[in-house]
Structures are given as C-alpha cells and as structure tokens.
C-alpha cells in the first residue's frame, strides 16, 4: 500500500514544478516585452497597469479561497523582479556573462543579501565573492577580479559609514547603482534558550550600535565585535556554546542553523541601509528610470563658498538628498563635501545646475549617475499617499469659536490651552496629519490583535478605506482578569508587520510605564486608555517618549481633568497629544457609554490639540457606530477611531461593537465621497 503522505508530497512536487514552469514562461514573455521597450518612446513602467494587475490577482485569489494578502505579496515580488529584469535588458553594460560582485563579509551578511537583491535581474550568472574588508573588496575591482564592489554607505539610524566615503575619495572608481535594504536585526543562538542565559553577543559594530538600547538592558552579557553579522552567526554555530548569541538577519540564522531568540532588536523598527555599487568605469542606465547623481567637491576657504554651490542646485530645481563632509587626508582642517541629488546627468536642468556649481567650487568630481533605489518597486508598495479628499476635512477652524479660553494662566493646563497656542496643532504621523485643516482622519482596526490573518485583513481594509492609521490592542485593560488580556509583544510585532505591508502607521495602547520604551520601538502612536487617563506615572513616561500620544477620556473624567492629564504629557516635552472622546458613564444604560459630543466644540474652544471621537466604545453596538461617526464629523472632530474585525462574532474582545470589513469599507467610502 502506498504511503498517503508520500503520494501527497509527490503531488506537491509536481505542482511546484508547474509553478516554476509558469514563472519561466512569464519571464520569456517579459523578455519580449523588454525587447519592445528598447523603443525609448515607450515608458519602462506602467504604474496604472501594475495597480490593476495587483487588484486582479487579489480578486482571483479571493475567488479561489486563497488569502489575498499572501497572493498580493508574492505578486509584488514578481513585479519588482520584472521591472528590474526589463531595466537590466535596456543597458548595454549590465552584466554579460559572469558578473562578479565583491562585498565585505561572508554569505548571509546584509551586504551579501542586499547585493543579491540588487543583481537579482542581471543578465547572465552572477558570482558573489566575500572579502575581509571594504578596501579588499575595492581592490578586487581595481585589479579586475570583480566588476563591481557593493558597499554600505549609510544607515537610517546611525548615519554615514565614513569608511566608504573615505575610500571613494581615494580610488578612481565610479558609482553605478544603489540599493536601499531593510535591515531586521534578530538575536540568534544555537537553541531557543531564554534570553537571560545568553552571556556573550557578537556582531558587526554598526549592528551593535543600531541595537544599543536592547543590549544595554541585558545584564551580565558581554558584547563582542566581529567582522560582520553573518561571521558572528557562524562563530556561534561553530562554538556549540548555548550561552553565545549573535545579532544578524533571519537569513543568517537559516544559513548557519541557528534559532531566532528575539526579532526586531534594533533601537527603532524602521532600519534601512543604503548600499552603493562601485565599478571601474561609469555606466549608463535606461534614462526612463528616475536617477540620482553623487558628487565630491572641495570649496575655497572663503565665506559662503559651500552655500553658493548648493544654491546652484536650488536655482535649477535640483533636489539635494544628502550632504556629508569628511576631513581631507591631505590638509588639516580642509574638508571634502559629498553630495547626492535627484536627477541624472542626462537631464538638462542637472546639466545647467552642475555647470553653475562648478563655477563656485574649487574642484568637482562626479562620482556617478545611476538609477535611484526603488525604481523597480511596483505600484502600491511605496509610501501610502496622504488621504486625498479635501471634502472630508474637519469643520473649518473659522467656524470654531476662538473665544478666550475659560482657563486662566494658573490653570492645570497651560501648554494645552488655546491661550498658550492660538493656532490648531496638527499632529503628523508619517504621511498622516491630524488636526487643524487636515483631512478628516480615519483610524481603524480590531479591539485586540488576535492573529496574523486577522490583523492583516484589517490592515488591508484600512488601506482600501484610505485610512492611514491601523489601531490594535496588544495589552488589553480588561475589567475582568479572566477575560482575554491581549497577546502582548507578539501582537505588537504582528501589528507592525501588517501595517508595514500596507504602508500604514500604528496606534496601540501601553499599560505600564516600564513598557513604554519597548512599545515605542514598534508602534507609531501610543494610546493611553480611558482607565489610565489619570495614571500620572504612565502619562509622564509617554511624555518622555518621542511618539504622538492618543489620550482617551476617562470614564468619569470632566473635560478639565482630561486637559490636565494632557498637560502631564506635554509638560514632559511631548507636545504631540491627540484627545479622543470615547463616551462617559452616565445613568443611561441603553448604550455602553454616553458619547459626549458636546465635548468636541468645548475642546476646540479650550485647546489647540486635535480632537477625535471613538464611537465604537461609546455605542457598544455596531449598528450605532456609523451614525455617531457622522455626528462626530458634523460637530467638528478631526477624525474618528473605529473598531473593525473580519469576523466580529468570533472576536476575542468587543465583537458586538466592531464593524465587519465590508461595513467599514462602506463607511470609509461615504466619508471619502
Ligand atoms: C481601546 O481603544 O481598545 C480601549 C480599551 O478603549 P477605552 O480605553 O476607551 O476603553
Ligand atoms: Mn475595544
């Protein structure tokens, strides 16, 4: 009798072969498309078509009972590769047979992974050779052992990698490409041991610096410098020592047979490194791709010399993206300036700007002109555009009474008072703006983050609804200790990942002062729940964080007590407070709480802070959420926060008041219309 598992696996093997056949067939068609696009009159990318394609495959996936997020993310990868593949076919210099790329480190290091991503679509086979140092990788190019060196040049947390800059000034090489690579540091060890058992942690100094907050909080643990992140992982694997750890990528864990003990250990969740590709000769890439240019210049030692050079760019509308200065190796107190700007040398305004700049500089060297990183990113994976519809703007400020506030200067709220700050405060969270004349904000998400599938489905609905902020409880303040308390930090990671996939930002509640730093590393807005409105230690702790704070009104709090609570946050130096009316306790029991809509105009008179309304916790029943949300907008709220769930009846908390995703999409459409 045949083994049923073996026969199922044979069927899977067959299906996988067909998937690969289909991908290969797709690539052959893309090759023909690329040949047609040799006509420079045709655009290299069709963003609209990419958007339609993603929507179409997502709908097809839904019809077949597949998770549409899963299918969409696969297609984003396919599209990104297709765009890179076509671009690579437009340039004559790219690749050919056997491109050799030199990088610093060993396989599985971030340099290696980023290089593989950068050259994934190159023509012909690509070989990757790891070298001990940046210098050794560059020498390989100078000698002709490699065509390209691929080196990190800056990191979004720790700034410039000065060694690369200094090497660029010395060697007569050219920048031919860049790659911005997302870095996700993990703590790796041999076995899934508790964190407290790790005694030694090794990594590259850059990675250690990016994880400083996490490392400093560890007790009795030695930090050791290694050549690169993957070498550190390799050493742990070879040592057989359970008390050793390495900070490296998840890919390095898989490559060296290690376990991920903790994900996201960097000081901030968004961590990117920019790499540059360096070659002996300058190369020209397809001009239809957006370009960037890098220069190295020295100026005379006289007043305004650098300013005149920069002004030459500004005069011609050329946008500067980076300016770095490094000491000259030849003369003390002389500096070399490295400058990156948008646009390629083939563009007329860039040409004019550089001619002008040259007049004011002592010496200018063009390091290279190359396609910008992300030029091959398919539509929909870039930053979400800001909510667009002007008609959804809150009640114009002019309609709001600006009568002198009731509060005097000795009141409990000075910083929060309009007397202190007459203009409306607008809180910016990435591309989302809340307050003043910003468009009406739509924050939505589940009461609690329950699973990856649940939060991802919600994120998708929020994106579809044009909302920029995803809410989700990770630590839940429940009236009964026997009720679901939230999934904690695990939920926080799921929330962040779902939001990142749809270019959204996150709001989540923090319950304890000791958790503020850890939550702030992954969330974008810290929520203080109604039950904690007067937890002064917690208010001070969030006041010391750099994140905006969404302060809910306490169940029994007066408006002045609420503003006094906001003052606790502001007095610590954090002015980015958003107030959220969520219903108060009255004698009425028909609704869960009584939504105090009159608080909105009162607040808009007394404070400059943005005011939003949570109709879900007020009503307690989903049928009443939409009418109360409309009313909130009518009385001048700057936005609403709404609870949603893919299957409200099975929600682990607050199901009865949660809209299902279709109900939410309908409401969001109405608000956007
Ligand atoms: C919430 O928003 O998940 C919540 C617990 O709300 P509140 O603090 O208003 O009860
Ligand atoms: Mn809730």
User: Is 12 a domain residue?
Assistant: no
Is 236 found in the same domain as 144? no
Q: What are the tens digits of pLDDT across the range 166-201? A: 999 888 899 999 999 999 999 999 999 999 999 999
User: Is 438 a domain residue?
Assistant: yes
Instruction: Confirm or reject: Cβ of 118 under 6 Å from ligand 1.
Output: no
Q: Report, as an integer, the average pLDDT of 22-29.
A: 94
At residue 399, the pLDDT reads 46
Is 207 found in the same domain as 158? no
Catalytic annotation, residues: 273, 275
Question: Is the confidence at residue 406, as pLDDT, over 60?
Answer: no
At residue 240, the pLDDT reads 95
Q: Which residues pair with 506 in a beta bridge?
A: 470
Question: Is the confidence at residue 385, as pLDDT, over 60?
Answer: no
Can you tell me which atom of ligand 1 is nearest the CA of 532? 8
Report how far ligand 1's centroid is from the alpha carbon of 401 (Å): 29
Q: Are 151 and 103 in contact (CB under 8 A)?
A: yes
Question: Is the confidence at residue 40, as pLDDT, over 90?
Answer: no
Is 246 found in the same domain as 103? no
Query: How far does the chain reach from its first CA to its final CA, in angstroms?
Result: 63
Instruction: Confirm or reject: Cβ of 552 under 6 Å from ligand 1.
Output: yes
- What's the pTM value of the predicted model, to 2 decimals? 0.64
At residue 376, the pLDDT reads 53
Q: What are the tens digits of pLDDT across the range 146-159? A: 999 999 999 998 89
Instruction: Confirm or reject: Cβ of 405 under 6 Å from ligand 1.
Output: no
Q: Are 155 and 273 in contact (CB under 8 A)?
A: yes
Is 136 found in the same domain as 195? no
The region of weakest confidence among 129-138, 224-233, 266-275, 466-475 is: 266-275
Q: Residue 583 CA: which ligand is closest? A: 1
Is 229 found in the same domain as 163? no
Q: What are the tens digits of pLDDT across the range 490-509? A: 999 999 999 999 999 999 99
User: Is 356 a domain residue?
Assistant: no
At residue 377, the pLDDT reads 52
Is 234 found in the same domain as 166? no
Q: Report, as an integer, the average pLDDT of 580-600.
A: 97
Q: What are the tens digits of pLDDT across the range 241-287? A: 999 999 999 999 999 999 999 988 998 888 999 999 999 988 888 88
User: Is 252 a domain residue?
Assistant: yes
Can you tell me which atom of ligand 1 is nearest the CA of 552? 9
153, 155, 157: which is closest to 213 by C-alpha?
157
Query: Of 254, 283, 312, which residue sits at a domain end?
Result: 283
Report how far ligand 2's centroid is from the alpha carbon of 583 (Å): 12
Assign residue 619 the CATH number of its domain. 3.20.20.70
Is 499 found in the same domain as 553? yes
Q: Ranked by mean pLDDT, which of 72-81, 373-382, 578-587 comes out on top?
A: 578-587
Which one is predicted more confidently, 397 or 418? Answer: 418
Q: What are the tens digits of pLDDT across the range 616-673? A: 999 999 999 999 999 999 999 999 999 999 999 999 999 999 999 999 999 999 998 8
541, 642, 533: which is closest to 585 by C-alpha?
533
Q: Are 96 and 127 in contact (CB under 8 A)?
A: no
Q: Residue 654 CA: which ligand is closest? A: 2
Q: How many CB atoms lie within 10 A of CB 641?
A: 28
Is 465 found in the same domain as 488? yes
Beta strands at 427-429 and 432-434: parallel, antiparallel or unpaired: antiparallel
Write the residue with the smallest CA distance to atom 4 of ligand 1: 529
Instruction: Confirm or reject: Cβ of 387 under 6 Å from ligand 1.
Output: no
Question: Is the confidence at residue 392, as pLDDT, over 70?
Answer: no
At residue 400, the pLDDT reads 45
Is 666 found in the same domain as 628? yes
At residue 97, the pLDDT reads 59
Which range marks the domain in which residue 243 is found? Answer: 186-268
Q: Report, as an integer, the average pLDDT of 524-551.
A: 96
Is 562 found in the same domain as 450? yes
673, 670, 618: which is closest to 643 by C-alpha?
618
Ligand 1 pocket check: which of 446, 529, 585, 592 to mutate, most ligand atoms within 8 Å of Cβ?
Answer: 529
Tokens at residue 360, please? 């004011």
Query: What's the chain's average pLDDT?
Result: 90
d(CA 295, CA 317): 17
408, 110, 96: which is closest to 233 by C-alpha?
110
User: Is 395 a domain residue?
Assistant: no
At residue 543, the pLDDT reads 94
User: Is 1 a domain residue?
Assistant: no
Query: Of 240, 268, 296, which residue sits at a domain end?
Result: 268
Instruction: Confirm or reject: Cβ of 582 under 6 Å from ligand 1.
Output: yes
User: Is 40 a domain residue?
Assistant: no
Is 422 found in the same domain as 550? yes
In the chain, the number of structural domains is 3
Assign residue 278 the CATH number of its domain. 3.40.190.10
**CA-to-CA dists, residue 318 to 299, 350, 352, 395, angstroms:** 20, 7, 10, 38
Q: Report, as an integer, the average pLDDT of 406-413.
A: 63
Ligand 1 pocket check: which of 527, 578, 655 to mutate, most ligand atoms within 8 Å of Cβ?
Answer: 527
Can you tell me which atom of ligand 1 is nearest the CA of 448? 3
Write the residue with the smallest CA distance to atom 5 of ligand 1: 529
Query: Of 248, 283, 318, which residue sits at a domain end?
Result: 283
User: Is 651 a domain residue?
Assistant: yes
Is 153 found in the same domain as 237? no
């Amino acid at each position: 009798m045949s083994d049923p598992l073996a026969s199922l696996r044979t069927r899977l093997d067959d299906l996988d072969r067909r998937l690969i056949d289909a991908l290969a067939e797709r690539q052959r068609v893309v090759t023909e498309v690329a040949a047609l696009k040799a006509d420079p009159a045709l655009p290299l990318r069709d963003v609209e078509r990419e958007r339609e394609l993603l929507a179409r495959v997502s709908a097809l996936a839904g019809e077949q009972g597949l998770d549409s997020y899963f299918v969409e993310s696969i297609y984003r990868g396919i599209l990104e590769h297709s765009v890179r593949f076509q671009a690579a076919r437009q340039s004559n210099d790219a690749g050919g047979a056997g491109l050799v790329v030199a990088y610093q480190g060993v396989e599985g290091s971030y340099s290696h992974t980023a290089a593989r991503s950068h050259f994934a679509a190159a023509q012909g086979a690509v070989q990757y050779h790891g070298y001990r140092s940046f210098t050794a990788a560059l020498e390989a190019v100078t000698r002709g052992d490699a065509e390209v060196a691929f080196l990190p040049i800056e990191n979004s947390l720790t700034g410039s990698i000065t060694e690369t800059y200094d090497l660029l000034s010395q060697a007569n090489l050219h920048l031919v490409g860049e790659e911005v690579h997302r870095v996700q540091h993990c703590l790796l060890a041999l076995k899934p041991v508790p964190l407290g058992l790790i005694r030694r942690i090794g990594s590259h100094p850059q990675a250690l610096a990016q994880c400083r907050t996490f490392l400093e909080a560890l007790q009795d643990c030695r930090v050791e410098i290694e050549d690169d992140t993957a070498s550190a992982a390799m050493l742990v694997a070879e040592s057989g020592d359970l008390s050793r750890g390495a900070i490296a990528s998840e890919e390095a864990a898989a490559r060296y047979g290690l376990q991920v003990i903790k994900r996201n250990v960097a000081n901030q969740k968004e961590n990117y490194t920019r790499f540059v590709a360096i070659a002996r000769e300058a190369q020209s890439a397809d001009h239809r791709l957006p370009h960037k240019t890098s220069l190295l210049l020295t100026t005379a030692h006289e007043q305004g010399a650098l300013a005149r050079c920069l002004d030459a760019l500004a005069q011609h509308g050329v946008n500067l993206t980076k300016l770095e200065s490094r000491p000259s190796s030849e003369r003390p107190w002389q500096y070399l300036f490295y400058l990156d700007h948008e646009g390629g040398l083939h563009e007329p305004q860039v040409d004019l700007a550089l001619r002008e700049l040259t007049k004011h500089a002592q010496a200018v060297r063009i390091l290279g002109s190359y396609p910008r990183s992300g030029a091959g990113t398919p539509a929909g994976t870039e930053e979400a555009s800001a909510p667009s519809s002007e008609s959804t703007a809150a009640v114009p400020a002019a309609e709001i009474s600006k009568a002198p506030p009731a509060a005097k200067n000795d009141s409990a709220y000075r910083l929060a008072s309009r007397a202190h700050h007459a203009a409306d405060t607008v809180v910016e969270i990435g591309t989302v703006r809340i307050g003043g004349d910003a468009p009406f904000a739509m924050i939505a998400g589940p009461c609690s983050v329950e699973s990856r599938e649940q939060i991802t489905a919600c994120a998708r609905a929020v994106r579809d609804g044009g909302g920029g902020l995803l809410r989700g409880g990770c630590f839940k303040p429940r009236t009964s200790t026997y009720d679901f308390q939230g999934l904690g930090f695990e939920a926080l990671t799921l929330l962040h990942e779902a939001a990142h996939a749809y270019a959204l930002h996150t709001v989540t509640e923090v319950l304890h002062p000791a958790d503020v730093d850890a939550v702030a590393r992954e969330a974008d807005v810290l929520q203080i729940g109604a039950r904690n409105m007067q937890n002064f230690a917690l208010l001070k702790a969030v006041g010391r964080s750099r994140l905006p704070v969404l302060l809910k009104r306490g169940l029994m709090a007066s408006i002045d007590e609420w503003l006094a609570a906001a003052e606790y946050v502001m007095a610590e130096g954090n002015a980015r407070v958003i107030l959220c009316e969520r219903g108060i306790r009255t004698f009425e029991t028909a609704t869960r709480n009584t939504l105090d809509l009159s608080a909105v105009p009162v607040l808009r008179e007394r404070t400059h802070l943005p005011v939003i309304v949570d109709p879900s916790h007020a009503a307690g029943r989903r049928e009443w959420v939409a009418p109360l949300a409309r009313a909130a907008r009518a009385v001048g709220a700057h936005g609403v926060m709404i609870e949603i769930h893919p299957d409200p009846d099975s929600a682990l908390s607050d199901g009865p008041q949660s809209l299902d995703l279709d109900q939410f999409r309908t409401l969001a459409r109405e608000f956007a219309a």
